[in-house]
Structure 1
Amino acid sequence: MSILEADIEQLQMKVAFQEDTIESLNQALIEQQKQIDSLQFAFKRLDSKVSAIEPSNMASEKEEAPPPHY
């Protein structure tokens, strides 16, 4: 086999390896996006639940009288 054929074969192997790597990275990216979407949905749901909680009947710090030692 000539040097040219060996170089071509080596390049073909590198391209095949790169295509496999790109596909693996793409699959990882897809999974991460699914996780992000799921977390965003959960966060929005949690945010709406927290917003729906009625405020407590405790006075705010501004409404409270200062402690007696002041």
Structure 2
Amino acid sequence: MSLNFQRTRDLLYNFQFSDLFIEELGWSKPSRQKPVTLKIENNTYQYQKIAELSGVAIFEVSAKDGKIPDAKARVAIHQ
């Protein structure tokens, strides 16, 4: 299977990471897709698995307000 560079660019540009990993890169759909809610410093975030391959999972984190969290919040989300 060869990589379609234009479609890959389009998926990245449109933040369609699930489609990128599953449809273009051939990863598997995750075993659990239910989002988990995190509350950090008065902000609410949700994370969920969007793809997995050989025990490696890809997570997507989204903020309720749609903004990218600052570095301190990102560290807290990671932990």
| TM-score, normalized by the shorter chain, greater than 0.5 | no
Structure in which a larger fraction of residues adopt helix: 1
Larger fraction in strand: 2
TM-score (norm 1): 0.21
TM-score, normalising length: structure 2: 0.19
RCO comparison, higher one (Cα < 8 Å, 6+) = 2
